[in-house]
Structure 1
Amino acid sequence: MQDRNNTLIGWILGGGVVALGLSIGFGSVFHTENPEGEKMGYFIEDTAAEGGESSGPPLATLLAKADVAHGETVFKKCAACHTINQGGANGIGPNLYGVVGEPIGKGVGGFAFSEALSSIGGTWTFDQLNKWLESPRKFAPGTKMTFAGLGDPQDRADIIAYLNEQGSNLPYPPPPAEGAAEGGEGDGAVKAEEEPVGDAVTDKEPATKGTGEVAPPAEALP
């Protein structure tokens, strides 16, 4: 009887050890605790490479061929947090009607912007919007906005064009001229060679008259 009790106690202790080990193992894989007690914001999937530098054509070139209709489609990723109609209410994020050209983070319609964004200063230019849409956390470290960003430069240009048509309508910057960075000294050299030398004829062969006589050389111009 005593042996049976000892065996039973041993199985119970062994089962407890196994259960504890499994609990620790699963906890390390599926960690769900939030030690700082932070309230998570609305997160949208990461579409941009964190910390990466954008590449490709200049923004002005992309804006010149921007597709506003596609920009409206891309904006659907933002519609969960933002309204864009005139006089629309703020949501998780501010209303974005007429945002292009507005001061950055200055309480549109009473929206409470984070200090990280409101301290940037300046206005929402096309270039500033492009940087913000590429990576909000990089543009304003500490921002409350949890949108990861748009990695495609043309998507950013399209959505900026759409935003611009919603109450801003600012003119786009002109795209850089093709080959503007080339030329330089080469053009100047060609131009110098094409300039006339003058009317001095002393270096030429003396002209002859119809009679066969050699005409005296003309005087060189001063």
Structure 2
Amino acid sequence: MRLPISRLGLGLLLPLVAMWPAAAADVEAGKADFKKCALCHTTEAGKNKIGPSLFGIVGRKAGSVENFNYSEAMKNFDHTWDAATLDTYLTDPRATVPQTKMIFPGIKDEKERQDIIAYLETLK
């Protein structure tokens, strides 16, 4: 048996679905997921590894950590790191900043990226 769905009913339902909140980011899961980032990055202020320290990254201009040798591409990436920019970059670093030194292929799983970004937002 098929239940009829009127166009009116569907028209009322779709906006509600669009407003439904996405799964909340999990800071603790992000901290655990960050372990793969920790191979090259530290969360300690003023300490760099192969990659720059990610302490205070949210709100910071890209390519601006002192005493880190960025690629020209990253130095010229005229953005401030926020959740949206981090999400784009973490999805595919080389597509976002061609010629970046970061060789990491990216994180395809959206939930994992959101969790890591939520964790990065706590590093202040």
- Asked whether the two chains share a fold, i.e. TM above 0.5, the reply is yes
3, 12, 34: which is aligned to 1:75?
A: 34
State whether structure 2 residue 63 is matched by structure 1 residue 105.
Answer: yes
Alpha-carbon separation, structure 1, partners of 2:51 and 2:44: 14
Question: What is the CA distance between 1:166 and its match in structure 2?
Answer: 0.8
**2:117 alignment counterpart:** 160
- For residues 78-104 of structure 1, give each alpha carbon's deviation from its aligned partner in whole angstroms, at most 9, with x where no partner exists: 1110110234x1110001101001001
1:117 counterpart = 2:74: yes
Provide the rounded CA distance (Å) in 1 between the counterparts of 2:90 and 2:48. Answer: 19
Amino acid in the other structure paired with 1:115: E
Instruction: Kindly indicate whether the alpha-carbon contact (under 8 Å) linking 1:100 and 1:126 is maintained by their aligned counterparts in 2.
Output: yes
For residues 58-113 of structure 1, give each alpha carbon's deviation from its aligned partner in whole angstroms, at most 9, with x where no partner exists. Answer: 9xx55x710000000110001110110234x111000110100100112x131011
Give the alignment of 1:12-91 within 5 angstroms. Answer: 61-62=21-22, 65-87=24-46, 89-91=47-49
Q: Deviation above 2 Å: which 4+ runs of structure 1? A: none
Distance 1:86 1:65 in 2: 27
Percentage of matched positions with identical amino acids = 46
The TM-score, its normalising length taken from structure 1, stands at: 0.45
| Structure 2 CA distance for aligned equivalents of residues 146 and 161 of structure 1 | 23
Q: Distance in 1 between matches of 2:45 and 2:50?
A: 17
| Structure 2 unmatched runs, 5+ | 1-17
Indicate if the aligned counterparts of 1:71 and 1:161 stay in contact, CA closer than 8 A.
yes
Query: Alpha carbon RMSD of aligned pairs, Å?
Result: 1.6
Question: 1:81 touches 1:92 (CA, 8 Å); kept in 2?
Answer: yes
Matched pairs, number: 105
Q: Secondary structure at the match of 1:142?
A: coil
Q: Distance in 2 between matches of 1:80 and 1:92?
A: 8
Structure with bigger gyration radius: 1
TM-score normalised by the chain length of structure 2: 0.79
Q: Distance in 2 between matches of 1:142 and 1:95?
A: 20
- Residue from 71, 83, 100 that aligns with 1:126: 83
Contact 1:90 1:109 in 2 (8 A): no
